[in-house]
Structure 1
């Protein structure tokens, strides 16, 4: 099961994920997308619903509204999608990494600093539904690859985004500066 969590807005790229789902279903890849979050733009949300209906994806794409705990939601997923057009450093990726849930995300903002493409996750050009679909098709069918990505992602969050590690690095830099 694939999932997206966050406010439903055009800049979050849910429409790209829905188009990628259409491509996957047309190719015979059976998968489901769950979109969690509240509407930040009702016009856009209605366009998403229309997109799902027109592409005959009603059984494959579900909108579930707000979730009380994003971590619990992410933990139910096989893959987290972050198809945004702009992001700084989305904590949802770190939450997924800490749970061992692989992430496929657009290569915008700080996301490429979080994900090493093909190692700790997968990146695609924002807005490129075809590339997203190809990436998803490759990983959905390869359980070993998913496991390896999940392990690498968990290492990233433990080593690169760990508060204790960061504090130790800062302390080292301060001590080096003071000793000069």
Structure 2
């Protein structure tokens, strides 16, 4: 094994990380915190938009890939999003090559989006680990994106980037298997490493309250997150006069692609439900909230619901587990790798609003079930999503990637 500290450069879409409601940014923030204090690795950050992050904490440093808004607007207007993403990949690669990270044991990690990593590796001269956050052949189709030339071009570029990467890591076995099946190729160097989570303080942990009937959904109003399934399930419970308080935490302006590709607003969908079930909307819409606010809202819930149509990992499930909130989720993607049905949470079939409602009612009606799910979920979160063992697993993976490059340098 080669000697010397590894320098890890993590790509994020925007900074500050804690103010960006994006799963990649959440992962980057939690990963940097997880690796903090490990003497064998130094983690840095680069982003293509936002404000310079500055120093993160002891042992890490922040970089900022500046993005001039005028150049961005002109590139997007004249050449489109593909040209813009290619330009940003070139800037990122040159930034790394000409920047302070000249260590022969430098490793770059970035998502698969738009296939940028292939160009970055070429320009940076450093090995790139592709972290599978949401391949477009999965997420795009789940969003209702049309299978047109633009969709196919992006899927092709992402595939080329994934299979040319120095290594690929993923938060679930599901997404690794899905990539290999879709592209009909095997990834040479790959590993499954769960997304890390912070450890929640005792005053952020869920506590059982027999009078609490609050059901919380945290996410966007789109097809991927299945917000329409949650909303309709809450309407169905309310139409049966079940005593449930439903809360929706997420942006107010999201729109969902419906069957013919037409965007539909959340307001329009709620109006459709009100007409269909002949009742007023039973859901409180709180809008977008930051991390600490979501933590507080989730702690006060009786049940956390995740109704996604596909999930690579599901931070909503993992964070609810870490707080000990009883969780009901759809049986899709990587979620069954987190939830053991009936032991750590309850699963329902995707698109089944009645099944979702039945699971919610089961938790609300059975205190012993809620308490058992909570305790078991916290144990899973402590074992899988935080701690020294997970930090060591990430470090060993990066060391292996860096050693291959250093050995050939």
Structure 1 length-normalised TM: 0.86
**Aligned residue in 1 for 2:349:** 125
Summarize deviations over 1:123-167 as a string: whole Å, max 9, x none. Answer: 111100111111112111111110110000000101122242223
Summarize deviations over 1:29-74 as a string: whole Å, max 9, x none. Answer: 2101100100321723123321443235536211111112322221
**Aligned residue in 2 for 1:53:** 274
Measured in 1, the distance between the counterparts of 2:279 and 2:380 equals 35
Larger radius of gyration: 2
**Aligned residue in 1 for 2:245:** 32
Could you tell me whether the CA contact under 8 Å between 1:52 and 1:61 is conserved in 2?
Answer: no
Measured in 2, the distance between the counterparts of 1:10 and 1:172 equals 37
**Aligned residue in 1 for 2:284:** 62
Measured in 2, the distance between the counterparts of 1:44 and 1:11 equals 15
**Aligned residue in 2 for 1:155:** 379
How many Å apart are 1:168 and its aligned residue?
Answer: 4.6
Could you tell me whether the CA contact under 8 Å between 1:104 and 1:121 is conserved in 2?
Answer: yes
**Aligned residue in 2 for 1:6:** 219
Gaps of 5+ in 2: 1-213, 256-262, 400-409
Could you tell me whether the CA contact under 8 Å between 1:9 and 1:44 is conserved in 2?
Answer: no
**Aligned residue in 2 for 1:80:** 304
Query: Secondary structure of 1:120's partner?
Result: coil
Aligned-residue Cα RMSD (Å) equals: 2.2
Structure 1 residue 97 corresponds to structure 2 residue 321: yes
**Aligned residue in 2 for 1:167:** 391
Gaps of 5+ in 1: 175-180
Measured in 2, the distance between the counterparts of 1:52 and 1:61 equals 11
More helix by share: 1
Aligned match for 1:18, one of 231, 247, 255: 231
**Aligned residue in 1 for 2:171:** none
Could you tell me whether the CA contact under 8 Å between 2:301 and 2:325 is conserved in 1?
Answer: yes
Measured in 2, the distance between the counterparts of 1:8 and 1:51 equals 15
> Which of structure 1's runs of 4+ aligned residues deviate more than 4 A?
168-174
Measured in 2, the distance between the counterparts of 1:72 and 1:3 equals 11
Could you tell me whether the CA contact under 8 Å between 2:270 and 2:281 is conserved in 1?
Answer: no
Measured in 1, the distance between the counterparts of 2:235 and 2:270 equals 13
Q: Which moved more, 1:88-97 or 1:109-118?
A: 88-97
Cα 1:30–1:56 shift into 2, 3 Å: farther
Cα 1:56–1:147 shift into 2, 3 Å: farther
Q: How many residues align?
A: 174
Give the number of the structure with larger relative contact order, counting CA–CA contacts within 8 Å between residues 6 or more apart: 1
How many Å apart are 1:89 and its aligned residue?
Answer: 0.8
Measured in 2, the distance between the counterparts of 1:140 and 1:27 equals 15
Structure 2 length-normalised TM: 0.40
